[in-house]
Structure 1
Amino acid sequence: MARNIEVIHPKTHLRVLSRYEIQQLKDFSAPTHELLRRCCYAVLSAGSQNDDYLDLESEFKDFNIEVAQEERGIVLNLTSPPESAFVDDEIIRGVREQLFSVLRDVLYAQDSIIKAHRYDLSRGEDISNAIFHLLRNAEVLKPDREANLVICWGGHSIPRHEYQYTKDVGYQLGLRSLDIGTGCGPGAMKGPMKGAAIGHAKQHICDGRYIGITEPGIIATEAPNPIVNELVILPDIEKRLEAFVRLAHGIVIFPGGPGTAEELLYLLGVLSHPANQNAPFPLVITGPAEAEPYLRDIDQFIGDTLGKEAQQRYEIIIDDAEAVARYMSQGTQKVRDYRSLIEDAFFFNWSLTIADDFQQPFDPTHDNMAELELSQSLPQHKLAANLRRAFSGIVAGNVKEKGIKRVQQHGPYQIRGDENILAGMDKLLSAMVAHGRMKIQGEYTPCYRIVNE
C-alpha cells in the first residue's frame, strides 16, 4: 500500500543545495532525476523480499520525488511512497537519513566525479582517487578508528539456517569490537550486521558501524536492510568492489550466488597481483555444516581455474562462528601492524595495487559476454578478471534492469571458453540454481547458457 504526498525535511546532513543542483533534480527528464527516483524508492522499500526487478518496476511506477527549496534549506516531496517506510504517519528516522544519503551520493558522483574534469576515469590512479573522494564525502572514512572493519559478502537469497549462521558469526565479530560492512541488502548482508549489533550491545559499544555499500544497478533488488547506519552508493559495480577492498581490514565470505562468486574472483584477482603478494589480507570462506559441500565446490572451482596459489589466500572454516571471529580479530591486528610499518592509512588501503582489468566498467552486452576469453593460457589475474566479468553478467541478467531487458530481447547470454573452465562454471552455477541461490522466491529461469564448442 502506498501513501499520497509526504514532505520530508532533513534532520542531520545535506540541508542546503545550490540552485543548480536543485534544478538538476527537478528536471524530470534528466538522467540524474530518474537515478535518484529509483534509488530513493529502494531505500523506502527497505525490508522487501522481492528481488524480481520487473515486479518492482511496476510497484514504483506511481512513485516520484521532487526536491524543493525552502528558506531554511531543502525538502523532499514524495508521491506514493511505500507505507512500510512510515510509523504512525512519521517516516522512520533511519529511512530518512538514507534518503538524504542517496541524494548526497547521486549528486556528488554526477557533479564532482563523473562530469568533473579533475578525474580521468580511464586511468586507474584517478579511479582510486575518485573512490576515495566519494567515500570521504559520504563521511565513511574515519581516521580516528582502529583497523577493525570486516566486510561480509554472501547471498541475498539463502535458507534460514544459513542466515542464522551469518548472525552467529556477526555476533562473535561484534563481541570482539569489530565493525561490519556488507552490500547492504538482505540475507547474508543483513545477518552479520544483526548479530554484530547484539555483540556490540553486550560490550556496551554505542558507536558500532554497519556500513552498506551499493550501486544504482543493484540497489533496487537489494534494498538497504534496517541495520545499515552508514549507506554509500558508488557509481558502478567496479567502483563498489574497489571501495570494499580498500576499506576492508578483512573479509568473510558466506554461501551465495553469482554475485558472491564475482566478489571472490575480484578479490583473488587483486591479491594475485605481484605487488600485493606480501600484504596481509585475512579472508575466510565459511558456512554452516549443511553448506560444506557447496563451499567445497567453490574451493574446487578456484583450484581448477586459478590454481593452488589462489586457494592459499583464504581459509575455509566450517560451522564454527567463534573460529571465524578469532581468525578475523588476529588478522586485523596483522593488518594494523603492516599498515603501521609501511605508513599506510588504516581507513583506506592506498598501498593495494588494483590492475586496470578490475577497475574499468564491464558492460554485459551479449557480444561482450560471448567474447570473454576464459582460457587457462591467460595469466592468473587476467583469467580472474574475465571470470569476474562472466559472473557479473549473470548478476546483471538476474537482477539488474539493463541485463534483464537484454535477456528478454536477445535470449540468454552465451558463455564460451576452455572445456574444463566451462565444466567447473556449469557445476557451480547448477549448484546455485539447485540450492535456490539465484532468486529469493519463484522459479528461476537461467539468463545464461554454457556453450561447449
Structure 2
Amino acid sequence: MNKAFTKPATVNASVSPKGSLEVLSQLEVQKLKSVSENGLYDLFRSCALAILNTGSGTDNAKAILETYPDFRIDIVQQDRGIRLNLFNAPADAFVDGEMIASTREMLFSALRDIVYTESELKSKRVKLDSGEGITDYVFHLLRNARSLVPAQEPRMVVCWGGHSIGHEEYEYSKDVGHELGLRGMDICTGCGPGVMKGPMKGATIAHAKQRVRHARYLGLTEPGIIAAEAPNPIVNELVILPDIEKRLEAFVRVGHGIMIFPGGAGTAEELLYLLGILLHPENADLPFPLILTGPKSAEPYFNQLNRFISATLGSEAQKRYRIIVGDHAEAAREMVKGIHEVRAFRRAKADAYHFNWQLHVDMEYQNPFEPTHANMAKLALRKDMPVHLLAANLRRAFSGIVAGNVKEQGIRLIEEHGPYEIRGETDILGPLDELLQAFVKQHRMKLPGTEYVPCYRLKR
C-alpha cells in the first residue's frame, strides 16, 4: 500500500487562461461552459486536481481524489472569455496568492484538450473505424494543441521510463538529457516525475548553455494515468490524449527517436508497443532509433528485459534496439546519429518532419483496450501468432497491470473482483513471470518503501 497521503492546506482562487484559450468566440466559450453539463466535469476535475498536485509524491489516483473530496471547479463565462473559480484547491499550486505560471498553463491545456476531444468525436469528419481515421484524429488533437511545428528539423527525442526510479537512475536520465540538450535536441516524455522529468531537467541546463531559444519540453498524457504521473513543472507543452492508445501513437508520430530508461510495467508496455509496430512487415525498412540506456547498476534490469524479448518475440525484435549501459554521452551520440538517418529518409520520401506519416500502425495497436477481468482473461498469448500481434497482446497485458497498480478504475476493479487472470502458453508466461518478479524485487511496481500486492495472477 502507499504511504499515507497527507492533505496540505487548501485555498479558493479565480484564474484566467494563460498559454491556451486566451482568444475565444462566444460559441467556444459556451462549449467550454457546457463541460459541467455534458458529463465531462468529473474527468476535468480529476485531471485538474492531478495538475494542482504536481510533486505530491503519491502514485495512486484514487488516493488523490479521496484526499480532496471538497475540491470543486466552476467555469465562469465572460464576454472576453472564461475564468475558473477553484474551491478547496491544493495551496502548494500557489505562491503569494498567485497560481504558479506552469500550473496555470497546464490547467487550461487540460480544459482545451478535454473539450476539443469531445467535440471532435461528434464531428462527421472523424472516422474511428479505420486505421487512417484514427491517425487523422491523433493528428488533429496534436495540431489543435499547437504541438506540430512544420518547418523544424527533426530533433524530438521521446524518453520513456519509470516514474518512481531510484536516485542513481534519475541522475543518469538527467545526464542523458543534458547530452541531448547540448546537441540541440528537444525532449518529449509522459510529462510526470522520474524519467519523465530527469531528461527535461538535464536538457534545460544544456539548452541554457547553448543559448537554445524556444526549446520544447513536450508532455503527452491521458486522463487515466495523469494522477499517477502528474505533470512536472518543466513541461511547456502539455497534451492530454483521450486514451492510452492515442497517447502511444502520438509519441511515435511526433518523436524522431525513442530512448528507454529503467522502469516497470508501464515501461515494458511502451517497449512492447513500439517493437510490435516496428516488427510489422510494412515498417521493415523504416529507420527509427531505439536505445535502451541506464547506469551500470541497471544492467541486470536490461539483461532481464532483453531475455524476455528474446524468449517471446525473438531475435528480429532484438535487432530493432541497442542497449547502452553506463555511458550517457554515447547514448546521446547514437540517438543523434539515428535522427540524422531519419531526416535523410524523410527527405528522400518527401515525408513531414513534424508527423511520421510513413509509419504503419496496425489497428491492433490503435483500438482502445479496456482492462476488465474478462478482457484480460481472454488475451491470446501463443507462439504461433504473428509476432507483431503477440507483441500487441503482451502490451495489453502490461496495460492491465499498470491499470491495476495505479489507475483509479483499475484499482477499484481489483478491490471488487480480485487479481486479473492472465492466461497463455508456458513458453510465454514463464518469461513473463520472471520479468514481473524481477520488477517486484527491484521495487519497480510501486513507489520505494511500499509493499507490492500483485494485481494479476498468471494461469498456464
The TM-score, its normalising length taken from structure 1, stands at 0.97
Map 1:227-376 onto structure 2 (within 5 A): 227-376=234-383
Unmatched 5+ stretches in structure 1 = none
Q: Which residue of 1 aligns with 2:144?
A: 137
SS in 1 for 2:238: strand
SS in 1 for 2:51: helix
Q: Which residue of 2 aligns with 1:104?
A: 112
1:197-236 deviations in Å (ceiling 9; x for gaps): 1111110112111100000000011100111110000000
Q: Give the superposition deviation at 1:11.
A: 2.8
Q: Which residue of 1 aligns with 2:36?
A: 26
Q: Which residue of 2 aligns with 1:433?
A: 440
Higher mean C-alpha deviation, range 40-49 or range 223-232: 40-49
Count of residues paired in the alignment: 449
Q: Give the superposition deviation at 1:54.
A: 2.8
SS in 2 for 1:81: strand
Q: Distance in 2 between matches of 1:287 and 1:23?
A: 46
Higher mean C-alpha deviation, range 203-212 or range 126-135: 203-212
Q: Distance in 1 between matches of 2:179 and 2:241?
A: 29
Q: Distance in 1 between matches of 2:76 and 2:170?
A: 41
Q: Distance in 2 between matches of 1:12 and 1:321?
A: 34
RMSD (CA atoms): 1.1
Q: CA 1:267/1:421 → structure 2, altered by over 3 Å: closer, same or farther?
A: same
C-alpha contact 2:265 2:401 (8 A) present in aligned 1: yes
Q: Which residue of 2 aligns with 1:154?
A: 161
Q: Does 1:39 align with 2:42?
A: no
Q: Give the superposition deviation at 1:40.
A: 0.8
Q: Which residue of 2 aligns with 1:401?
A: 408
Q: Distance in 2 between matches of 1:232 and 1:402?
A: 21
Q: Does 1:66 align with 2:57?
A: no
C-alpha contact 2:60 2:407 (8 A) present in aligned 1: no
Which amino acid in structure 2 is aligned with residue 25 of structure 1?
A: V
Q: Which residue of 2 aligns with 1:449?
A: 457
Q: Distance in 2 between matches of 1:128 and 1:209?
A: 23
SS in 1 for 2:225: helix
Q: Give the superposition deviation at 1:116.
A: 2.0
Q: Distance in 2 between matches of 1:131 and 1:120?
A: 11
Q: Give the superposition deviation at 1:26.
A: 3.1
Q: Give the superposition deviation at 1:117.
A: 2.3
Higher mean C-alpha deviation, range 140-149 or range 18-27: 18-27
Q: Distance in 2 between matches of 1:381 and 1:333?
A: 27
C-alpha contact 1:25 1:66 (8 A) present in aligned 2: no
Map 1:159-198 onto structure 2 (within 5 A): 159-198=166-205
C-alpha contact 1:186 1:224 (8 A) present in aligned 2: yes
Q: Distance in 1 between matches of 2:39 and 2:403?
A: 20
SS in 2 for 1:219: coil
SS in 2 for 1:68: strand
Q: Distance in 2 between matches of 1:287 and 1:394?
A: 23
Q: Give the superposition deviation at 1:363.
A: 0.7
Q: CA 1:175/1:10 → structure 2, altered by over 3 Å: closer, same or farther?
A: same
Q: Give the superposition deviation at 1:120.
A: 2.0
Which amino acid in structure 1 is aligned with residue 35 of structure 2?
A: L
Which amino acid in structure 2 is aligned with residue 268 of structure 1?
A: L
Q: Which residue of 2 aligns with 1:13?
A: 20
Which amino acid in structure 1 is aligned with residue 283 of structure 2?
A: N
Map 1:67-106 onto structure 2 (within 5 A): 67-106=75-114
C-alpha contact 1:236 1:361 (8 A) present in aligned 2: yes
Q: Give the superposition deviation at 1:73.
A: 1.5
C-alpha contact 2:294 2:326 (8 A) present in aligned 1: yes
Q: Distance in 1 between matches of 2:16 and 2:398?
A: 40
Q: Distance in 2 between matches of 1:23 and 1:196?
A: 38
1:355-401 deviations in Å (ceiling 9; x for gaps): 01000001111011011010011000010000000000000101111
Unmatched 5+ stretches in structure 2 = 1-7
Q: Give the superposition deviation at 1:439.
A: 1.1
C-alpha contact 1:22 1:68 (8 A) present in aligned 2: no
Q: Distance in 2 between matches of 1:12 and 1:178?
A: 23
Q: Distance in 1 between matches of 2:211 and 2:32?
A: 42
Q: CA 1:86/1:130 → structure 2, altered by over 3 Å: closer, same or farther?
A: same
Q: CA 1:26/1:52 → structure 2, altered by over 3 Å: closer, same or farther?
A: closer
C-alpha contact 1:183 1:214 (8 A) present in aligned 2: yes
Q: Distance in 1 between matches of 2:60 and 2:230?
A: 12
Q: Distance in 2 between matches of 1:206 and 1:379?
A: 46
Which amino acid in structure 1 is aligned with residue 311 of structure 2?
A: D
1:148-190 deviations in Å (ceiling 9; x for gaps): 0000000011111000000010000000000000000111110
Q: Distance in 2 between matches of 1:32 and 1:293?
A: 44
Q: Give the superposition deviation at 1:443.
A: 1.4
C-alpha contact 2:30 2:77 (8 A) present in aligned 1: no
Q: Distance in 2 between matches of 1:399 and 1:235?
A: 17
1:265-288 deviations in Å (ceiling 9; x for gaps): 000000011111111100000111
SS in 1 for 2:354: coil
Which amino acid in structure 1 is aligned with residue 59 of structure 2?
A: D
Q: Distance in 1 between matches of 2:358 and 2:68?
A: 43
SS in 2 for 1:217: coil
Q: Distance in 2 between matches of 1:173 and 1:395?
A: 29
Match of residue 222, structure 1, among 226, 229, 234: 229
Q: Give the superposition deviation at 1:22.
A: 3.4
Q: Give the superposition deviation at 1:49.
A: 1.1
